Every structure is written in C-alpha cells, then in structure tokens.
C-alpha cells in the first residue's frame, strides 16, 4: 500500500534510536557516519533529533542547542521521499524548538555545490558567512569546501 499521502509526523528521538538515524544517513550520504558517531552526539547535552515518519521513516534532523546558539548537525531525507517538503518540515521544527529554548542564531555547514541543501537553507533565511577550505574528504581522496551558513532566529 502506498504511504505517499499519509500525514508526516515528526517524532523526537534520542540515543536509543541512533541506529535508525545511522540507517537514514547511510542512504543519503556517500561519506556516511557510523553508529558510534550518532551515539556520541547524544552524549553532549543539548543534542536533539527528529525523525519524519508516515509511518515509515522518511528523513531526520539532528541539531544542538547551546545557550543562544543552535547548530544543525545533519539533515537528510531518503532519496525516494525528496521534494515533498520533508526537509522543510524538519528544519522548521528544529528552528521552532531552538527559538523556544532561547536561541538567537542557528549555524550549519554545507558542502559547496550542494545546491539542493543550500536552496533549502536560503529559503529559511540562512546566509553564507564563511568558508572552511578543503573541509570534506571525498571517496576519491579529493577535498571540497564547506560553506558556513547562519540564520538569525526570531
């Protein structure tokens, strides 16, 4: 049965769902992070994650809140569920939660040339503020830059 038209729910998850987050990440990135990496994120206070489901998982976001600053650690939507507004829902909720906790700014890193993600972020008011040279290592051994983007929260 198709799940395409079922409502998408955002479910907060923690370290006990690190395997689920890892599975989504693996399907969305060439250089994906392992279970240890996701488990480690949750050892830092102020780390939150949301999974978008309808009812099967479609995407996720991991973010961190520290005083007035919030950071998107990662956001990803499974290839077959893209362009349906899932990332927009996840990011909007992360921003809402961070704002509610008193954050004034949100930051993230994005690979230079990841135009889908950059367009998503610009739509929320993120602007490119600096560049980390040769930040991401590719499978072929080459390196690409990261753009640092910042958004002022309400």
Ligand X SMILES: CC(C)(COP(=O)(O)OP(=O)(O)OC[C@H]1O[C@@H](n2cnc3c(N)ncnc32)[C@H](O)[C@@H]1OP(=O)(O)O)[C@@H](O)C(=O)NCCC(=O)NCCS
CA distances from residue 35 to 23, 26, 56 in whole angstroms, order as listed: 9, 10, 20
Q: Is 129 a binder of ligand X (CB under 6 A)? A: no
Q: Which stretch binds ligand X (CB under 6 A): 7-15, 95-103, 119-127, 136-144?
A: 119-127
**Phi and psi torsions of 115, nearest 5°:** -70, -30
The two beta strands, 105-111 and 69-77, are parallel
Q: Which of 3, 14, 56, 85 binds ligand X (CB under 6 A)?
A: 85
Rank residues 65 and 120 by Cβ distance to ligand X and give the closer one: 120
CB of 50: closest distance to ligand X in angstroms? 13
- Told to check if 94 binds ligand X by CB under 6 A, we report no
DSSP at 1: -
Q: How many residues bind ligand X (CB under 6 A)?
A: 20
Part in contact with ligand X (CB under 6 A); list of ranges 32-40, 41-49, 108-116, 125-133: 108-116
Compute the CA torsion angle 19, 126, 68, 93 (nearest 10 deg): -50
The DSSP secondary structure of 85-132, one letter per residue, reads SHHHHHHHHHHHHHHHTT--EEEEEEETT-HHHHHHHHHTT-EEEEEE
Q: Which of 15, 97, 99, 114 binds ligand X (CB under 6 A)?
A: 114
Interaction of residue 86 with ligand X, rule CB under 6 A: yes
* 115-123 helix and 86-100 helix, angle to the nearest 10 degrees: 50
Residue 44 near ligand X by CB under 6 A? no
- Using the rule CB under 6 A, is 120 a contact of ligand X? yes
| Footprint on this chain of ligand X (rule: CB under 6 A) | 28-29, 75-77, 82-88, 110, 114-117, 119-120, 123
């Amino acid at each position: 049965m198709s799940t395409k038209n079922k409502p998408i729910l955002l479910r907060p998850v923690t370290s006990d769902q690190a395997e689920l987050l890892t599975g989504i990440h693996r399907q969305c990135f060439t250089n994906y992070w392992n279970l240890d990496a996701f488990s480690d994120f949750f050892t830092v206070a102020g780390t939150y994650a949301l999974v978008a489901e309808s009812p099967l998982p479609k995407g996720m976001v991991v973010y961190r809140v520290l005083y007035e600053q919030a950071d998107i650690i990662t956001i990803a939507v499974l290839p077959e569920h893209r362009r349906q507004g899932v990332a927009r829902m996840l990011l909007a909720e992360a921003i809402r939660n961070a704002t509610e906790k008193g954050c004034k700014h949100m930051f993230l890193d994005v690979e230079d040339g990841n135009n889908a993600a950059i367009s998503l972020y610009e739509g929320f008011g993120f602007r490119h503020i600096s560049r980390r040279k040769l930040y991401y290592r590719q499978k072929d051994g080459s390196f690409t830059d990261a753009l640092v983007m910042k958004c002022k929260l309400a």
